Amino acid sequence: MKKYELALVVNARIEDEAREEVLGKAKALIERFGGVITDIVDGSKKRLAYEIQKMNEGFYYFIQFDAEPTAPAEIEHRVRIMDNVLRYLCVKREEE
pLDDT digits (tens, 9 = 90+) for 9-62: 999 999 989 999 999 999 999 999 999 999 999 878 999 999 998 999 999 999
Residue 46 burial (CB count, 10 A): 12
Domain hosting 54: range is 2-92
Predicted TM-score (pTM) of this structure? 0.89
Helix (H) and strand (E) counts in the chain: 2, 4
CATH code of the domain in which 67 resides: 3.30.70.60
Q: Residue 23, SS3?
A: helix
Q: Count structural domains, the chain.
A: 1
pLDDT band for position 68 (cuts 50, 70, 90)? very high
Going by pLDDT thresholds of 50, 70 and 90, the confidence category of residue 94 is confident
